[in-house]
Amino acid sequence: MVTPLTENDPTAQGERRARQRTGKNGRLALGPLPELVGYNLRKAQVALFQNFQSAVAPHDITPGQFGVLIMIKENEGLSQSDLGSAVGIDRSTMVAVIDRLESRGLVVRAPSPNDRRSYALRLSPEGQRLMEELIPRVKAHDQSMVKDLSKEEQAQLIDFLRRMSKAG
């Protein structure tokens, strides 16, 4: 015999909570999240990172590592501390990132000619080759992510994001 669900029945309470969590269309209710900039930025970031991973998959490079490699490529001889400041990474994290890139043979640490306490960073020949391959892939990935935006909208988006990063 099947007994009806009552107010105090844990199963009934669980079903009520599940109904409260879902919207009218059966999906999770999001409340004010869709109107929040941070929520939408995070969703966009997740999509960007997933697409980035697909674009560079054979090379096992994260977006952060790519940014570090670009900075080293464009600023040969840069110190780890200056690099960390430029990309917003604390000293201990920066050391770990450079250790990983160095162990993969992509970055070379050399004694700094200006400061005996620091290292000057440069790409290894392998790092140079990798960047020659990755830069076009990353540019193509970036364009694929904004393909539905006009050039003007793309420029506006970049401007908005830059202004937001300065406000923080």
Q: What is the largest CA-CA distance in the chain?
A: 86
The structure's pTM equals: 0.77
From residue 123, how far is each of 51, 99, 128, 167 by CA, in Å? 25, 13, 6, 33
Tell me the CATH number of domain 37-54+61-167, given options 3.40.50.360, 1.20.58.740, 1.10.3720.10, 1.10.10.10.
Answer: 1.10.10.10
C-beta of residue 30 within 8 angstroms of C-beta of residue 24: no
Residue numbers in the chain where pLDDT is lower than 70: 1-24, 168
Q: What pLDDT sits at residue 119?
A: 85
Q: What pLDDT sits at residue 1?
A: 45
Q: What is the DSSP letter of 33?
A: G
